[in-house]
Amino acid sequence: MKEKLVLIGNGMAGVRTIEEILDRDPNRYQITIIGEEKYPNYNRIMLSNVLQKKMTVSEIITNPLEWYEENQIELINHDPAVKMDPNNKTISTSSGKEISYDKCILATGSRAFILPVEGAHLPGVVGFRTIDDTENMLEAAQKYQRAVVIGGGLLGLEAAKGLLDQGMDVTVVHLEKWLMETQLDEKAGRMLQADLEKQGLKFLMEKATQKILGETRVTGLAFSDGTTIETDIVVMSIGIRSETTLARTTTIEVNRGIVVDDFMKTNVPDVFAVGECAEHNGNVYGLVAPLFEQGKVLADVLTDKETKPYQGSTTFTSLKVSGCDLYSAGNIRETEGINSIEAFDGINYTYKKIFVRENQVVGVVLYGDTSEGNRYYNILRKNESIEEYTPVSLLHMVGEEASTDVSEWPDDEVICGCNGIDKGTIMTAINEKDLTSVADVTKHTKAGGSCGKCKSVIGDVLAYALGGEVVSAPTGICACTDLTRDQIVTQIYAKKLTSSTEVYRELNFSNPEGCPKCRPAINFYLNVAWPKEHEDEKESRYVNERLYANIQNDGTFSVIPRMRGGKTNPQQLLLIAKVAEKYDVPMVKVTGSQRIGLYGVKKDDLPKIWAELEMKSAGAYAKAVRSVKTCVGANFCRFGTQDSMGLGIKLEQRYEFIDTPHKFKMGVSACPRSCVESGVKDFGIIGVDNGFQIYVGGNGGTEVKEAVLLTTVETEQEVIDICGAMLQYYRETGIYAERTAPWIERMGFELVKDVLLDPEKRQELLAALDTAVTGRRGNPWDEVVEDAQTRQELYTVGRV
């Protein structure tokens, strides 16, 4: 029997420890993870990107539900542990479940500290620690105008900038003289404040909050100096406190955090602690790098590997708030025995300060230019003498700076500070595992997998290791093959391979059944190559496409009915309301594509809801043509020049349910004001007096890409035809899961333009598209409703 290992806490530190254990001995333990939040493990560092709408919640999920299943981990989610009995080795959860363990890891993390002042628990007062906190802030930004963030630290500033980006009037209240006083000296802190003020943030420095005003909801703050400020929302970001409630109910020693030794052991046998809840040598760490270092030590201990004791961590902070680059590491205070070297460039507005004790760097502060952060950190970490370094050099020639050539760096140079991965580790992985991309390096070493700021340096190391041939090096589509997308598609045509099984066999895939990464890609390529001969392999599609609904973070699903062009009517609204009420749907929301979505639907309720709605699917779950976003257009808007709704509906009717390498979004604006953001759509149309401007290759998401003007045409039919030609060209040449922005960058805009605007080539592509989609499936929801066997196979609880 396997030993039972229970992890309490589903956050970054605990799950990283489990990953490290699985890397060392995947069959050692029967693992259970107990989590308080309803989400699977996610990257908390990226919450500010979600708040600033640079990323979605799904994009910060580090380990989706499938990961737990693949590793045979029982996940007890949204059900926190409330009782621990170390004598009988049991854990009880809020719902009453009792789980036994042989070994237990406490990784309960921390909570946002809420000031203990009058009014702190009024509605409108929030922390900034979780996905739910972030979504509450985004929701508040849609309703209210004014926000106050208490705390001018790293998270507070990111929260403030996120709310500013959502259109709020934001004031940061800070108790100290300058921002981020624990990471920055006064000079850098004031530079940061000046830059943020230029962007629109307001600051009240040296202010102590005495009371939060309001009766039924927050209305303002009162300060100890007698002044007040009005606000609609208060974000508390003044630090965190270790979550030790569970441990304190036992005999486990707790001080500021759960006390552990150099091997992460508590004073209770078989109970360990890592992360923000753990206290080691009097220190509790709130940054990710120390937590991951602790996880590695504990993973060695729990798999009986020889390991060095954990000796504490040298912390560093790298932050970018909308153009404000700063870096901080180590001790940044001038005290007895510590002096500094300071350089301020008022022309380029950059600042560097190095703190030195006995010819060794003990601290670093950089502002404006953080390119040397990694180098200074490694000098600090190695306790390297700086006797032979020139402290300050002005107006030297370009190229005379310290080398940034990774080929000259030693193997112990740390590349990824968050995960403690050095150059030698990355080089070894590249050479031993034939890695050819930054994504491969991240997957195998975890370098670049946290904040992501080191990915460009990882790319430099990769280029050096591969002789500078990163781009042209063979990059297989997955671990099953060294073949690229183009090589596979060429062989599919040349050998007339019409099934995935044939592709795996004839092209010598190492896994004869493929893997989760290549199966959907091969199925797509076969659908494009042989639309009549190849039978779509539904089992190869992702779960969303198999079930015609998006799976949510808690295992429920969304239902988004079709409203072509965003247009609806009272009958549809009544149906949606009736169904939502009958099936106790927890959330009804207008989506970003102007549809109404029902969220939190149980899987076995999906077919019943579809049948009762009597509406069609909006196709919101697939790598396919999505619904078209429109404005009200010339029919109603006094600025509109064209019938945007009418054209949007025609585009949906013509191309809905057509599979593409990735989701394909469209927007039709009736005038250059572009209310539907046509300039960041895969295919965007803007109505002008003489016709329609067509923009292509725009993408929102993690990295926003602005669309490029393709052409201006006079008629709706030309728009529809060019759209169809682009769809087919994208289908024929795109890499599976590649958005149109990188596709156009890879293909070259001029080539794409030449193809789409050549009348003859356009007609060929349209003919190929018509052939490919002849007899395409209609509304998939109807198919499920009418097929009892499909309902039984796919929509019975416990089956996918």
The pTM assigned to this predicted structure is 0.57
Strands 557-559 and 596-601, by their bridges, are: antiparallel
Q: Evaluate whether 274 touches 14 at the Cβ level (below 8 Å).
A: yes
Q: Once rounded to an integer, what is the mean pLDDT over residues 132-159? A: 92
Best CA proximity match to 309, nearest among 325, 327, 291, 294:
294
Q: Once rounded to an integer, what is the mean pLDDT over residues 486-505? A: 90
Q: Once rounded to an integer, what is the mean pLDDT over residues 528-548? A: 85
Using one digit for the tens of pLDDT, what is the confidence trace for 623-672? Answer: 899 889 999 888 888 787 888 899 999 999 899 889 999 999 999 999 98
Count of other CB atoms within 10 angstroms of residue 673: 12
Q: pLDDT-based confidence at 399, cuts 50/70/90?
A: very low
Question: In 358-413, where do the E strands start and end?
Answer: 360-367
- The answer to whether residue 400 scores a pLDDT higher than 60 is no
Share the mean pLDDT of the chain.
Answer: 87
456 exposed, middle or buried (CB, 10 Å; 0-12, 13-18, 19+)? exposed
Q: Evaluate whether 579 touches 613 at the Cβ level (below 8 Å).
A: yes
Q: What percent of the chain has pLDDT over 70?
A: 94
Instruction: Return all residues near 194 (Cβ < 8 A) that are at least 6 apart.
Output: none
Half-sphere exposure of 616 (CA within 13 A, CB side): 14
- The answer to whether residue 476 scores a pLDDT higher than 70 is yes
Q: Which two tokens stand for residue 351?
A: 């600042």
Higher pLDDT, 392 or 177: 177
> What distance in Å separates the CA atoms of residue 763 and residue 361, rounded to the nearest whole number?
67
Q: pLDDT-based confidence at 699, cuts 50/70/90?
A: confident
> What distance in Å separates the CA atoms of residue 133 and residue 57, rounded to the nearest whole number?
12
The predicted pLDDT at position 694 comes to 95
Using one digit for the tens of pLDDT, what is the confidence trace for 32-46? Answer: 999 999 999 999 888
H or E stretch at 80: none
Q: Evaluate whether 277 touches 108 at the Cβ level (below 8 Å).
A: yes
Least confident of 286-290, 293-297, 690-694: 286-290
Count of other CB atoms within 10 angstroms of residue 115: 18
Q: What percent of the chain has pLDDT over 90?
A: 49
Question: In 575-624, where do the E strands start and end?
Answer: 587-590, 596-601
> What distance in Å separates the CA atoms of residue 704 and residue 166, rounded to the nearest whole number?
16
The predicted pLDDT at position 401 comes to 46
Higher pLDDT, 158 or 243: 243
Strand partners, 691: 688
Cα dihedral across residues 34, 40, 46, 50: positive or negative: negative
Q: Once rounded to an integer, what is the mean pLDDT over residues 10-29? A: 95
Q: Once rounded to an integer, what is the mean pLDDT over residues 150-166? A: 89
Residues belonging to the chain = 800
Using one digit for the tens of pLDDT, what is the confidence trace for 704-739? Answer: 789 999 999 999 999 999 999 999 999 999 999 899
Best CA proximity match to 425, nearest among 405, 410, 408, 403:
410
